[in-house]
Amino acid sequence: MSVIPPSSGRILLVDDEIAITTALQKLLATHGFVAEAFSNAKDALRRASEVDFDVIVTDISMPDMDGVQLLRRIREHDLDVPVILFTGAPTLESATEAVNYGALQYLLKPVPTKEFLDVIRRAVQLRRLAATKRAALNELGTNAGEGTRAALEAAFERALEKLWIAFQPIISAGSGRLFGYEALMRSGEPSLRQPEALLDAAERLGRLGDLSHRARRLALAALAEDQDWTLFLNLHPHDLSDDALLDDLLECPDRLGRLVLEVTERASLDSVPAARTKIASLRETGCRIAIDDLGAGYAGLSSFIQLEPDVVKIDMSLVHDADKSGVKRRLIRSLTEVCQDLGYCVLAEGVETTQERDLLLDVGCDLLQGYRFGRPDRRFVAPSW
């Protein structure tokens, strides 16, 4: 039998039965691998944070921290290392969790020697493939795509830690002066940099509440007492069922008269229990309510009836190149006239050109927002006209 060079792989063994790890360590050394053994998951986790292992082999049933918990913790700092779980007492629950958190293989004790070595060799090669692939994706500037639940959880936690708020100016059409800023969620986590990706991850993980709470707190912190402009803050329909929303708002009661809560028309409010009552409670704090994405959401009147908005935002898909489209021009004019007759303030978003701006002024929009006046920024950038 040919001996594999020691450079073939570094293996981390974790099992509270020392006799098992000792036997596996000797077996791996005989076949050219470098193996380190630990009898508890906490010490193994500490070592894994210090050294890059090619493969981690862990028992499932251990005191203090089991193998699946160890796998989840490993994924917080290493998304690629293959983790092999093995057990003498398999359960459907542990097998399901192993798959969810990206275990490479789930083995039953006792594992035949040849099968064990074959699994280790394959795992080492997959580790190298993953490292090469990630390097190529980084070189090309492509999103590495965190596929497993454990990887997504780790990326989401990093995204929460790196969350920040960008502010885009909103202009009063009548005066051309600053009216306020919209708070827009951003993250420094490369794999979840776009708000849509971050929201999708939160929804998949059941963490929408955590994301919304963090974003709200950051945005509301910017609403200082000595500022006279209005802050527009986006809400997910899920937020209306979250008691933390009202609690967050009531922490700055003196400033809520300068806050507009935007609820998108792209999502139905029908699934939100007692939506009108909850909106009324928000309005009682002094906040105003806006309908976002008008023209790109639902065709019915349900959102208007339930929200009774103060502000209506015409979606950028209607605004884009509206100066070149007679149909868009007529639609925007009609929407503006009807909304103003109903007492709603009309905001057109996505304004990018002087021609679009002038058209929106001509049809009578009250507020304007878009790159023409300023891009989202960490700072409160003064708008251009």
DSSP assignment of 208-247, as one string?
HHHHHHHHHHHHHTT--TT--SEEEEEE-GGGGG-HHHHH
Q: What distances in angstroms separate CA 171 from CA 343, 358, 370, 374, one per listed residue?
A: 19, 13, 9, 10
CATH of domain 6-140: 3.40.50.2300
In CATH terms, the fold of domain 149-369 is TIM Barrel (3.20.20)
Between residues 292 and 224, which one has the greater pLDDT? Answer: 292
pTM strictly above 0.75: no
Tokens of 332: 């925007």
pLDDT digits (tens, 9 = 90+) for 312-354: 999 898 899 999 999 999 999 998 998 899 899 999 999 999 9
Angle at 279 between CA 273 and CA 284, to 5 degrees: 140
Query: Alpha-carbon distance 198 to 204, whole Å?
Result: 10
Asked if 195 contacts 376 with a C-beta cutoff of 8 angstroms, the reply is no
The ranges of the chain annotated as CATH 3.40.50.2300 are: 6-140
In whole angstroms, give the CA distance from residue 123 to residue 379: 47
Ramachandran assignment for 52, one of left (phi > 0), alpha (psi -120 to 50 degrees), beta (any other): beta
pLDDT category of residue 243 using cuts at 50, 70 and 90: confident
Instruction: Give the mean pLDDT of 180-195.
Output: 91
How many residues can be counted in the chain? 385
**What average pLDDT does range 253-271 have in this prediction?**
80
- Indicate where the chain has its CATH 3.20.20.450 domain(s): 149-369
Q: How far is CA 207 from CA 143, 213, 264, in A?
A: 22, 10, 19
